[in-house]
Chains A and B, each alone.
Chain A
Amino acid sequence: MLTPAPAPASAPESAPAPASVPAPGSAAAPVAPLPPPGYPIVHPLKDVRLGEAFPSFAAGEGIYVQDTNGKTYIDGISGLWNVSLGYRHPGIRQAIVDQLDRLPYVNPVDGANPTTLAFAETLLRLTPPALAKVAYTCTGSESVELAIKLIRKFHQLSGRPERTLIAVLDKSYHGTYYGSMSASGIDQEISESYGPRVPGFRFHPVPLGDDGKPAVLEGELLERRLAELERLFEEEEGRLGGIILEPIIGSGGILPLPDRYLRRVRELCDRSGALLAFDEVATGMGRTGRMFAFEHSGAAPDILCLSKGINSGYLPLGATLFSDAIYQAFARAGSHIEHLSTQNGNPIACAAGLATVEALERPGLLAEVTRKGELLRRLLEEALAANPMFLETRGKGLMIGVALTSDRSARALLDPDRLREVVARLRQRGLLVYPIHTPGVTTGFHLFPPLIIEDGEIRKIVQIVARSLGGR
């Protein structure tokens, strides 16, 4: 007999089984047991069940971090590509302490602060004159989020409301907020289940070789990629509001866009009235050997998205710089920018930013970044030349990708499990790296060491990589 309607809800009797009951395996249904309730946080972008397996870091100095067991690691990725001047930088630390003692917070809607203003002026001084204003954010995702808004609102205010389409590259990564996630080509599959995504993005193929793998883009190959770019602008004429690019595709596998490619984008934007935004969250603030990566090509943006190294990652801070034309569009309409996070432009974070720029502007520092990057790549290439797993290095300055393969002649990608093992082994051997896994394109790992790294430390990195990848 069926019990009355409430019965189903009350019928089950719960009896938790002991944790040791084996869980039958199935890819369709992940069956690893749930974690013990003791681990209090979930880690971003990781299976929520993972917890205690992550090392817990307690201290850091220079390019090193130390876990709670006292094990020291070379931080080969500068935190998450942000701690560009290393840990316990005395200048940054002092600037933070001084600002903390003076005033830790100012309401960014209705107030300003000498430090906040000074840092904005500094950023504008570092960038081409076309960039006229700074809007603070807290993160790189947020900087891109704001860029998307600026592109669309600019065209609204300029009487071109139909220009809502934004072009991005299909292997790009721009963040995980709704807009920036929707604009990230590399995460389209993952973000699908969080849908509906923010609409209005066109994913243009990242320029690669004809086999879909990274290649030296020059000559006829480059011409074809430029032609594809031109077709994009032609096809979307009248609809295209802007294009957002990373000058070097970062998460997608360290794929530098050729200078000519960037200059052509600039020309096409000028010709079509579309805005050009560079996402320099990863590449900016000295990482590539210039203050900003676009400087290598000479193509300046209308919008520049910054974060990560903006204050050496010591406190959450980002900035979106934009052109006077955009500013004037808002000004003419008497409009405001509908964007705010409480901590945008926090004065302590900006003080850290000022100290960071001061360090980056020390004579010779950026030239050293270029030299050290070349040294690291050359030593890696020499040390790994005979290693069948090694394919190539790519990048600029100290933004380096080490591509690994399961078959060098076929440029086959490394199996994801194997890649995980390699990254774990490097970590075990005291070098923190970040995996590159761009399906169909490239596999390997990122190296973004702090810009203050010394030659001896570069050799140590190479030694760890060679010994870890070389087996016995």
Chain B
Amino acid sequence: MQGFSFGSGLTLVHLEASSPRLFAATDQLDCRYVRAYFRQQGTPTAQYIQASLAGLYETAEDLLSLGNDAVAFHVTPASYRLCRELSGTLGALDGSLRIFWFGEWAAELPDGSLPDAVERLVRSEPERVLHRLLEPDAPSEEADEADALDAIAGVWEDAASMRQAPLLAVKAADRLGGDAAPGGIRLHSPERLLRDIRLAAAASRQMRPELQLLGYEAATADEAREAAVAEALEACRASATWSAELTLERWRRGGAARLAELGASTLTLRLPDSLAEAEPFLADMLRELRIAYPDLRLRIVLETAPGSTESGARRVAGQLRQCLDEGLLARDAIAAAVPAAAGAQARTLLPSPLEELARERFGSSPETALVNGFLAFMTGHYPAHVLGGGAKHIGVGEDGWRPETIRRIGEHSALNSAVFFEQNQACGEENSNSVEPPIFYDQDGKWKRLDRRFDQASSEAEREGTYLSNANRLERLGGGRWQLQLNDFLLAEPISLLRQRYEEAAAEEGADASADFRLLDIRSERDLDRFLEDVDAFSRTGRFAHGYEVQSYVTDSCRWSAAGACSARKLPRLFADGEGDVAACRGCAPIGHLDDTPDQLLMQAAVLSDQEQLLRGCASCEIRSTCSQCAFLPSYMTAAQYCSIRRKHVMLHRYMQVVQLVKGLRRHTQALSALDAETLLVSLPTCTHYYPLAGGAERPSLVSEAVFLLTTDGTPVLYQAVSQKVLKLSEPMALLLEGLMVGATEAELAGALQAAYGTEPSYAAAAVSQAIELFSRQGCLNLPARAS
């Protein structure tokens, strides 16, 4: 019997930051070692896996529902803060639950940095110690000291048999050996390393995946061992490439070149933040490698050097500046180590010469996931797979962040949510201070600039027991200019926004609109009229009359989009005012209060939505398949007006789709990255460019809504949104597709071909049949019976 039941065994938790401050519960190598060991001992374990994390309470409930007696968090610098919050919440929910922390970084944490709920920080041999904690009477085994890690068997084999998600890391050694192991280091034998690399590469289902080679330096401390590991790496270089970290000393002794020779694809140098005069010149070392291995990626992790001096730091800064100037390092390739010893307040500050360089040259481009979140918050467009599990974004006005609301905001947000503060920068006097705020690096893995307002919001949240995942600010600079500050991140360039009323954008066509993002608000009937004029012009001509239509984002454009675009009933956004009243959509009437539970708000949103749609008769409306059926309308528009607009402007949803599509194609395809919106022709049932559109009775389109026909630089291009294929078409094919778009019969299509190209009737008929068959095969048509 396997003895399944709730209430026995160990739950393992690893929270992986896919992007700073955006987490998923995933598998992890150290956790696999623990699971493998427990399996050897016959004790059950469960790994908590969750791609879309809900709120703190919900996640804690999920963890409890796994039913084990104990939970072990694998704590990393990035997950430290979240692990602390989750441990506290778990402890509060179930005082009998045993909570442990472990991990190579966490092993160095000072005792006082553990939350009360954590029973013990496991600093060495987590597999055995955790097992002994759970099963004190189990016989204890002593591992062979030489290759202590080899005793843990089945790490890769069990994962493969269970088809678990691949891990792109293998362990050569770790520092979890405790006092018994020399230097605390536990090793794998070179043979086991070779086997693990092969198994990891096979499990990845990739051709030569890049594997993180953990503990390489520790595993190759002596020459004989280094030679043996090199032999192992050489033996499997056809299976994988690797990334590894080296100290300056090993790098200098040729370790980097040796690893590059053995097939490394990324090498990270742990560089002290202060160098003595006699140190080799960094740029020379990197240049040498770069010339020999042009594809090798080089990274730097700055470490606080004991006895760091200003002159030594200046030397490092000078060398890094040269590396950046020569392009040997990318500006986001420089990070800093976050010592666990600093605990909760771990902020790595740089010596002033390096700080000066950081201010000038470090920083990164904005995190794509966070920026996409911002755009979703502004437009209301959320992909279906992210919905549910708490509000993703909560908008808070200047007066909405008060102790009584902060706690409730925490109840409604998910662990990866963001609070957006809309602020007038005039209030932020401290930022206009001439003293530059310090630059630092911390557990989030980002360069940051000390930001008093962010820190204040964070400490207020902490005081109220709210986990503030992301706190972004929209700062008004004046004249329609805004700036988006993502947390306290130091970005290479600030994210600039131009936010205008639609009417203004239309009036200022051609004016300087340089900004990272341009947002257009529809806040009045006049804005709406100008917007609908643009839609109508598009419907008539199949062209965008103004550049801003494609360059900008219309706020709350979900309202004007196709069926399914409105996700308000699932409350991905909440807008809280100073009284704690919450709205489901920007500028709309409140649906409840922050004091309501998330379930009550969801229920209320669904009920209001259903009532509104029932009153309007959405279920039987003739445009129900193309209308988003927005149930939360702003004050400048009644439901009757909304319905009338949607019925009158039949191409409105298509307009929104094409705007979104053009942006996507420009961003994500090579072939269409230079797509020019001004010369772009869009084929529509109301406007064709190849097929002669005659007046008369409107017929339903035979072309799927997922198909778009665009003409760019004179070339017709078909985009199939389901298969995400881009197909170049000949002109006759474009003519036929347009004909099908307007519901033409096969005879009419053949006639149009004859008229346009002088084709013989039989030839034309054959071409029509073939085209229909081809379009059907590509999933472009709505008419399965028609092709026969």
Contact = CB atoms under 8 A, between A and B. Distances in A.
Interface of A: 1-9, 11-34, 38, 56, 58-62, 64, 66, 68-72, 74, 88, 388-389, 406-407, 412, 415, 417-418, 421, 424, 428-430, 460, 464, 467, 470-472
A143 to B, nearest CB: 32
Contacts of A64: 4-5
Q: What DSSP secondary structure best describes chain B's contact surface?
A: mixed
Contacts of B162: 56, 58, 68-69
A26 B626 contact: yes
A19 B723 CA distance: 9
B725 interface: yes
Given A7-B767, A11-B730, A415 B569 contact: yes
B705 A28 contact: yes
B625 A28 contact: yes
A36 to B, nearest CB: 10
B570 A417 contact: yes
Nearest to B164: A68
B342 interface: no
A15 B763 contact: no
A455 to B, nearest CB: 14
B4 A415 contact: no
Contact of B562 (A1, A14, A25): A25
A429 B5 CA distance: 14
B671 A15 contact: yes
Given A2-B757, A68-B162, A471 B598 contact: yes
A431 to B, nearest CB: 8
Contacts of B730: 3, 7-8, 11-12
B66 A430 contact: yes
Q: Count chain A CB atoms within 10 A of each CB in B5, B561, B727 and give the residue with the most.
A: B5
Contacts of A29: 704-707, 721-722
Contact of B67 (A25, A72, A406): A72
A464 B65 contact: yes
B65 A471 contact: no
Given A12-B733, A31-B721, A61-B3, A25 B565 contact: yes
A470 B706 CA distance: 40
A406 B569 CA distance: 13
Nearest to B734: A11
B626 A28 contact: yes
Interface stretch (B141-149, B267-275, B477-485, B602-610): B602-610
Given A4-B763, A430-B66, A25 B727 contact: no
B732 A69 contact: no
Contact of A3 (B732, B736, B766): B732
B657 A12 contact: no
Interface stretch (B445-453, B583-591, B662-670): B662-670
Interface in B558-589: 561-565, 569-570
Interface in B232-248: none
Interface in B642-689: 653, 656-658, 660-661, 663-665, 668-669, 671
A467 B767 contact: no
Contacts of A21: 664-665, 668-669, 724
A8 B736 contact: yes
A61 to B, nearest CB: 4
Contacts of A62: 4-5
Contacts of B597: 471-472
Nearest to B663: A22
Contacts of A415: 569, 606, 610
B771 A8 contact: yes
B705 A26 contact: yes
B603 to A, nearest CB: 6
A172 B774 CA distance: 41
B727 A15 contact: yes
B224 interface: no
Contacts of A12: 718, 727-730, 733, 774
B600 interface: yes
Contact of A69 (B49, B607, B658): B49
Contacts of A412: 610
A70 B44 contact: yes
Contact of B561 (A22, A25, A61): A25
A328 B144 CA distance: 78
Contact of A421 (B205, B388, B657): B388
Interface string B409-436: 0010000000000000000000000000
A229 to B, nearest CB: 32
Contacts of B718: 12
26 contacts: A2-B756, A5-B766, A8-B733, A8-B770, A11-B729, A12-B733, A14-B725, A15-B671, A15-B725, A17-B719, A17-B726, A18-B724, A23-B721, A27-B625, A30-B706, A32-B722, A34-B723, A59-B2, A61-B4, A64-B5, A69-B48, A69-B162, A70-B47, A72-B67, A429-B61, A464-B65
A15 B724 contact: no
A29 B565 CA distance: 12
Contact of B728 (A4, A6, A13, A20): A13
B4 A70 contact: no
Chain B contact-residue range equals 35 or more
A230 B610 CA distance: 38
A309 B756 CA distance: 67
B46 interface: yes
Contacts of A467: 61
A18 B669 CA distance: 7
Contacts of B704: 28-29
Contacts of B35: 70
B253 interface: no
Contact of A15 (B564, B653, B726): B726
Query: Among B6, B47, B561, which residue has the most Cβ atoms of chain A within 10 A?
Result: B6
B599 interface: yes
Contact of B65 (A61, A428, A472): A428
A-side interface mostly: loop
Q: Identify the 10 closest CB pairs spanning chains A and B, nearest first.
A: A70-B46, A2-B757, A24-B657, A29-B705, A27-B563, A471-B599, A29-B706, A11-B730, A68-B162, A429-B65
B383 to A, nearest CB: 8
A230 B50 CA distance: 55
Contacts of B600: 471
Contacts of B626: 26, 28
Contacts of B603: 388-389, 406, 418
A18 B668 CA distance: 7
Given A5-B767, A22-B661, A70-B35, A16 B725 contact: yes
A61 B46 CA distance: 16
Given A34-B723, A72-B4, A429 B62 contact: yes
Given A12-B728, A29-B705, A59 B4 contact: yes
A472 B57 contact: yes
B668 A72 contact: no
Contacts of A61: 1-4
B706 A31 contact: yes
A9 B733 CA distance: 9
A6 B767 CA distance: 7
Contacts of A34: 722-724
B721 A1 contact: no
Contacts of A56: 162-163
Contact of A23 (B411, B598, B724): B724
B319 interface: no
Contacts of B381: 25
Contacts of A27: 562-564, 625
A59 B774 CA distance: 46
Given A8-B770, A17-B669, 14 more contacts: A2-B753, A14-B727, A17-B665, A17-B724, A22-B661, A26-B562, A26-B653, A28-B626, A29-B705, A70-B9, A70-B46, A74-B6, A415-B610, A430-B6
Interface string B130-172: 0000000000000000000000000000000011100000000
B759 interface: yes
A113 to B, nearest CB: 31
Contacts of B472: none
